[in-house]
């Protein structure tokens, strides 16, 4: 298995410290703080570890990023088993570093049961096989940026590959519509089909390339901004595998008050809506 995916799976293997208490390690991927998707994925794994009895899978989560995470220190996850009902369970997870809360997650779990079915239609886009995997290293202008930022955008370090529908311009992007689409999948086959693992990995990758849609109408580079996720919400509608191609469709209906709001839909390759996302983030022009 690809070492990048092996390492990500290791990051999601939390150490049990005590009942409802877990510890996770971080990876420095070049972002100014712990990557938000990592904390999101680890917190969901911590919540899953406290789901007992009948099989219940996460159908929704709502999270707030409270403080910057320190990549050089472990993160402790404390789970509150808020409720276990006949068919739903609720968990609240608090991530702690250096004695302070850095992240909070509320997640709901539901047993599988039949019901009404309908879903939005996937937009018509080129198939992933007709597109090339995005590699920031192909842009010579990337060499002008600080080494840490180069590392963040370097595809060689990522456990997922991305094939964008639209052209990517990190340095001097022209103003464009606040929407984008890209295919993504894990760089190798995930060794397990367990729903908890694929949903945790999907939560991890859902934070990639999200807020960029809110910047596109303004023709400004990410390098000129202070960008940080404020909150993140996700709804899991149907089963999927993250090692199969998935289409991420993102749009930004609003930006105001130094905050940008984005929403996303994730489709399987055969056009089935598998998850929805929403996020608001800080978009502050650097002095």
Helices (H), 103-257: 147-153, 195-205, 212-215
Task: Please give the pLDDT value at position 234.
Answer: 98
Task: Please give the pLDDT value at position 286.
Answer: 84
- 229 a catalytic residue: yes
Cα–Cα distances in Å, from 275 out to 120, 173, 192?
11, 29, 20
Helices and strands of the chain, counted as H and E runs: 5, 12
- 194 a catalytic residue: no
Contact 249, 268 (CB under 8 A): no
Cα–Cα distances in Å, from 206 out to 103, 124, 156, 158?
17, 21, 19, 14
Residue with tokens 């049990």: 16
The residue ranges of DSSP E strands in the chain, in sequence order, are: 15-18, 21-24, 56-65, 75-84, 88-97, 100-111, 160-164, 179-186, 225-236, 246-256, 259-268, 273-285
The tens place of each residue's pLDDT in the chain, 287 residues long, gives 999 999 999 999 999 999 999 999 999 887 778 999 999 999 999 999 999 866 899 999 999 999 999 999 999 999 999 999 999 999 999 999 999 999 999 999 999 999 999 999 999 999 999 999 887 667 776 777 777 677 777 666 789 999 999 988 877 889 999 999 999 999 999 999 999 999 999 999 999 989 999 999 999 987 788 889 999 999 999 999 999 999 999 999 999 999 999 999 999 999 999 999 999 999 999 87
Length of the chain: 287
**Cα-flanking dihedrals φ and ψ of residue 7, to 5°?**
-65, -40
Residue with tokens 């022009």: 285
Task: Please give the pLDDT value at position 98.
Answer: 96
b/e 44-65 (16+ beta carbons within 10 angstroms → b): bbbbbbbbeeeebbbbbbebeb
- Domains annotated for the chain, with CATH where assigned, are 3-111+128-285 (2.40.160.210)
- Sign of the CA dihedral with 206 first, then 211, 217, and 218 last: negative
38, 97, 276, 279: which one is catalytic? 279
The pairing of strands 88-97 and 21-24 is unpaired
Task: Please give the pLDDT value at position 205.
Answer: 97
Task: Give 3-state DSSP helix, strand, coil % of the chain, rounded to 5.
Answer: 20, 40, 40
- 231 a catalytic residue: no
Contact 131, 163 (CB under 8 A): yes
Q: Which two tokens stand for residue 267?
A: 């489709």
> How far is the C-alpha of 163 from the C-alpha of 135, rounded, in Å?
9
216, 229, 265, 276: which one is catalytic? 229
207, 216, 268, 276: which one is catalytic? 207
pTM: 0.94
């Amino acid at each position: 298995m690809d070492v990048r995916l092996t390492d990500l799976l290791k990051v999601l293997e939390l150490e049990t410290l005590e009942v409802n208490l877990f510890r996770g390690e971080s990876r420095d991927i070049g972002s100014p703080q712990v990557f938000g998707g990592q904390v999101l994925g680890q917190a969901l794994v911590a919540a899953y570890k406290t789901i007992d009895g009948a099989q219940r899978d996460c159908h929704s989560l709502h999270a707030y990023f409270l403080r910057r995470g320190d990549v050089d220190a472990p993160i402790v996850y404390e789970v509150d088993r808020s409720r276990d009902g006949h068919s739903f369970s609720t968990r609240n997870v608090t991530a702690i570093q250096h004695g302070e809360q850095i992240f909070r997650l509320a997640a709901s779990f539901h047993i599988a049961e039949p019901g009404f079915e309908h879903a939005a239609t996937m937009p018509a886009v080129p198939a992933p096989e007709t597109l090339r995997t995005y590699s920031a290293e192909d842009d010579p202008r990337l060499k002008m940026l600080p080494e840490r930022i180069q590392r963040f955008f370097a595809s060689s370090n990522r456990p997922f590959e991305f094939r964008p529908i639209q052209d990517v311009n990190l340095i001097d992007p022209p103003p464009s519509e606040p929407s984008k689409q890209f295919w993504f999948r894990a760089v190798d086959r995930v060794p397990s089909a367990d729903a908890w693992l694929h949903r945790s990995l999907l939560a991890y990758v859902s934070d990639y390339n999200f807020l960029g849609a809110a910047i596109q109408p303004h023709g400004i580079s990410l390098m000129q901004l202070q960008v940080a996720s404020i909150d993140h919400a996700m709804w899991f509608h149907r089963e999927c595998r993250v090692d199969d191609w998935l289409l991420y469709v993102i749009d930004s209906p609003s930006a105001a008050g130094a905050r940008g709001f984005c929403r996303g839909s994730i489709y399987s390759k055969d056009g089935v809506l598998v998850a929805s996302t929403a996020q608001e983030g800080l978009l502050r022009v650097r002095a």
